[in-house]
Structure 1
């Protein structure tokens, strides 16, 4: 049984979404750390 193109596409989008989510989390963490450093200064 071959993979349906739509299924493959959905999988691809899921991976892209996960990566995007990961980047967003990193960015939020980075900004949070920067603000914390600012406040302690």
Structure 2
């Protein structure tokens, strides 16, 4: 899914590092349940 936001912007909104977002996108890690929000 593409939202048109940069990794740094997403990281700031959800309160994680940009590196964490990069790792999520590459499948190296998953966001913790507390970070995921229902749509």
RCO higher in structure (CA 8 A, sep ≥6)? 2
Which structure is higher in helix share?
1
Does TM, normalized by the shorter one, top 0.5? no
The higher radius of gyration belongs to: 1
